Amino acid sequence: MPPPRVNKKPNNETTTKDNRGILDDPFKFLDQDYQELKKSCITSNKRFVDDKFPPNSSSIDPKNKLKLALNKIEWLRPSKIVSDPQLIVQGVSRFDYSQGPNLGNCWFLASVGALTFRKEVMDQVMPSDQSFGKDYAGIFHFRFWRFGKWIDVVIDDKLPTIDGQLVFVHSKTSNEFWPALLEKAYAKVCGSYADMHAGQVSEALLDFTGGVHVNFELEKPAIDLWSLMDRAAKTNALMACGSRHGDKSENVLPNGIVQGHAYSVTGVFKVTWQGKPVKLVRVLNPWGMGEWNGPWSDKSSLWNTVSEKEQTKCRSLANDGEFWMSMEDFTKNFEEIDICCFSPDFLDSSSKCSWTTTCYNGSWESGTTAGGCINNKESFWTNPQFRVRIEELDAECASGQCPENILVSLMQIHENRYRSLVSNYGIGFSVYLIPPEANER
């Protein structure tokens, strides 16, 4: 077999001369400059209308896959819907919104629920330099991380309505509009509202953070997954999960769980029951209603057997879509959990460790570097290869964990702006240990 071609130099955005695409200097999506557009609107005393995502059916559903009555939709600015529109009312909360009935984007809204817990991340996604107050010009902007770069997305505030009611996500407080505007900005990135229909919760988690994504299957969970989730929560990670699929999409089971549905994971807690610790997980349905009704649910009698302090801290009787369940019931009813964070420090049992990150950009090219999987023995060696040296842990870090860890993540860059038209190719990677004697050569 010929010797491998090894890519040795990372194409890392932090080491290149072009620093654009970082959070403080994001790329302008579709070349729209928020500050310049807003200044122009204020100077001309006009409110912004986005010609790159126009308020018409092309931005909602170009092929009418959602089967909406598009002729009944009227695009209204918040000031035409309520008399006193606000971007945020009394802070951002996971209870602010409910998923609209016309769009299956629970994967996105479950990620939003996780996002509301992390103010510093929320401030990245939704810059604070905007409101319906001073210098209002009908223009807003949001920032998302896309395939290694931050982008700034400009929108107008015209929202699709029918009979004065929002068609998609809506706030429980009638004059609060951050959820609808955030959803519109993300729909613009996806190509249209219809392009947000169905997806993986990990997509939005990554787009909100630019962080590291880890997925765990719950059928055979990692050793003490609850403790890992507890550490993740304490390191400001975002977590969401997906329920097991049934014969019918979004079928509500007798226990209250919606099959094939995305949920936010909003907390973990340990209570003492009959002298023994019980590990609990708190979960949020992005519908804003509909809850688990089994053990440790809102009205479960088990809460009457724990201390008043623990009840006060955890128990809620509101039908707001959020509920507690035991770790055992969580793993039975949910298929997987996604954890996204700035650094995978939570994977280590020691808080004294810190991770370093390296980013490589590459591609598979037909006839040269697309060697197929391991079954293609004659060509497999032609695939791009990267040699990674894992440095030994220092004494302080090594004392708190087992061997050195490495986390590898592979991301596929979309070739089409319209999310529903993206071709997701079958790609993957294999990790091999290089013997020390071979590494010395």
Residues labelled as active-site residues: 106, 261, 285
Indicate the residue type of 268.
Answer: V
In degrees, rounded to 5, the angle at the alpha carbon of residue 304 between the alpha carbons of residues 299 and 308 is 115
- Number of Cβ within 10 Å of residue 122's Cβ equals 19
Is 180 exposed, middle or buried, given 0-12, 13-18 or 19+ CB atoms closer than 10 A? buried
Q: Which parts of 61-146 fold into alpha helices (H)? A: 78-81, 106-115, 119-125
3-state secondary structure (DSSP) of residue 119:
helix
With residue 340 as reference, give the H or E element that holds it.
Answer: strand 334-341
- Residue 171 bridge partners (DSSP): 97
3-state secondary structure (DSSP) of residue 28:
strand
Is 298 exposed, middle or buried, given 0-12, 13-18 or 19+ CB atoms closer than 10 A? middle
CA–CA dist 196, 159 (Å, integer): 16
Query: Crossing angle of helices 106-115/178-190, nearest 10°?
Result: 130
Q: Which residues contact 152 (CB under 8 A, 6 or more apart)?
A: 26, 27, 28, 29, 34, 141, 142, 143
